[in-house]
C-alpha cells in the first residue's frame, strides 16, 4: 500500500495520518516534520528551510523531492503526508516511482471547507498559546495562515484534478474518530 495524503492546512491530515499508519502498518512520512527537523540542524540549508516555513511558503521542489525520495527509499508500504504539494512534485513522484518499478495505490484527499480549516488553525494557535508557549508553530501566525491557504488554493488544490483517476475523497468534518472511520470505510471500498 503506497498512499499520498493531502488536504488543506488544518484539514487534520497529520492526526489522521498517524492513525492510519498505525492501523495499516504503514511508514508515516511527513515532509513537514522532516523539514522541521532539518531546521533544528542550524545549517545554511536548515535556516533557509526555516525561513520558508515561517513565511508559509513552499520549500523548493528540488529539495522537497530529494528529501521525500530519500525518506521512502526501500519502503513498499508508506503513507506520505504533506507531499506532493503541487502538480510538478506529483509528476516527479510518479516518474520516480515508475523508475522504481512501482506506483501509488491511491491519493487520499481530506476534504474540509476552507472556513472550517482556517478556524481550526486559529483555535489550535490559541490553545497552544495557553498551554505550551514554545510549541506554537511560527507558521500558525494569522498573516501566515492566510498565505498558507492561498498557496494551498493555487498550488495544492489542483492535485484533485491531477489524481482524478486514483483519488479517494473523504469528508474531513466531524470528530477525529468519526473522520478515521470515514477514511477506513472509503479505503475498504477502494481495495
Interaction site with ligand ADP (CB under 6 A) = 9, 31-32, 35, 52-53, 56-59, 64, 82-85, 89, 139, 148
Active site residue 166: no
Is residue 148 annotated as a catalytic residue, yes or no? Answer: yes
Name the catalytic one among 2, 36, 136, 137. Answer: 137
User: Are the CB atoms for 20 and 30 separated by under 8 Å?
Assistant: no
Which residue of the set 36, 48, 120, 124 is catalytic? 124
Where do we find the cell 516534520? 33
Q: What are phi and psi of 45, to 5 degrees?
A: -65, -40
Shortest distance in whole angstroms from residue 191 CB to ligand ADP = 26
Determine whether 44 is an active site residue: no
Strand partners, 54: none
The question of whether 103 is a catalytic residue gets the answer no
Cis, peptide link before residue 102, omega less than 30° from 0: no
In whole angstroms, how close is the CB of 123 to ligand ADP at the nearest point? 14
Give the alpha-carbon dihedral of 24, 26, 32, 38, to 10 degrees.
150
The C-alpha cell 498505525 sits at: 22
Task: Confirm whether 169 is a catalytic residue.
Answer: no
Q: Spell out the residues 6+ positions from residue 168 whose beta carbon is closer than 8 angstroms to its own.
A: 106, 107, 108, 109, 186, 187, 190
Q: Which residue is nearest to ligand ADP (CB)?
A: 32
User: Is the distance from CB of 104 to CB of 4 less than 8 angstroms?
Assistant: yes
Is the Cβ of residue 53 or residue 112 nearer to ligand ADP in the bound state? 53
* Nearer residue to ligand ADP within complex by CB, 101 or 159: 159
Q: How far is the CB of 174 from ligand ADP (least distance, A)?
A: 19
User: Catalytic residue positions?
Assistant: 13, 85, 124, 137, 148
Amino acid at each position: 500500500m503506497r498512499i499520498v495524503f493531502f488536504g488543506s492546512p488544518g484539514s487534520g491530515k497529520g492526526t489522521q495520518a498517524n492513525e492510519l499508519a498505525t492501523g495499516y502498518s504503514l511508514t508515516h512520512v511527513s515532509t513537514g516534520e522532516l523539514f522541521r527537523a532539518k531546521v533544528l540542524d542550524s545549517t545554511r540549508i536548515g535556516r533557509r528551510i526555516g525561513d520558508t516555513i515561517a513565511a508559509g511558503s513552499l520549500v523548493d521542489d528540488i529539495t522537497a523531492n530529494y528529501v521525500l525520495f530519500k525518506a521512502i527509499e526501500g519502503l513498499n508500504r508508506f503513507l506520505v503526508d504533506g507531499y506532493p504539494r503541487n502538480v510538478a512534485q506529483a509528476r516527479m513522484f510518479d516518474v520516480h516511482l515508475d523508475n522504481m518499478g512501482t506506483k501509488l495505490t491511491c491519493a487520499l484527499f481530506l476534504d474540509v471547507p476552507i472556513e472550517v480549516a482556517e478556524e481550526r488553525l486559529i483555535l489550535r494557535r490559541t490553545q497552544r498559546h495557553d498551554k505550551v508557549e514554545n510549541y506554537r508553530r511560527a507558521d500558525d501566525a494569522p498573516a501566515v495562515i492566510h498565505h498558507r491557504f492561498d498557496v494551498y488554493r493555487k498550488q495544492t488544490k489542483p492535485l484533485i484534478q491531477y489524481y482524478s483517476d486514483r483519488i479517494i475523497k473523504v469528508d474531513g468534518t466531524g470528530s477525529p474518530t468519526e473522520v478515521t472511520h470515514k477514511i477506513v470505510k472509503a479505503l475498504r471500498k477502494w481495495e
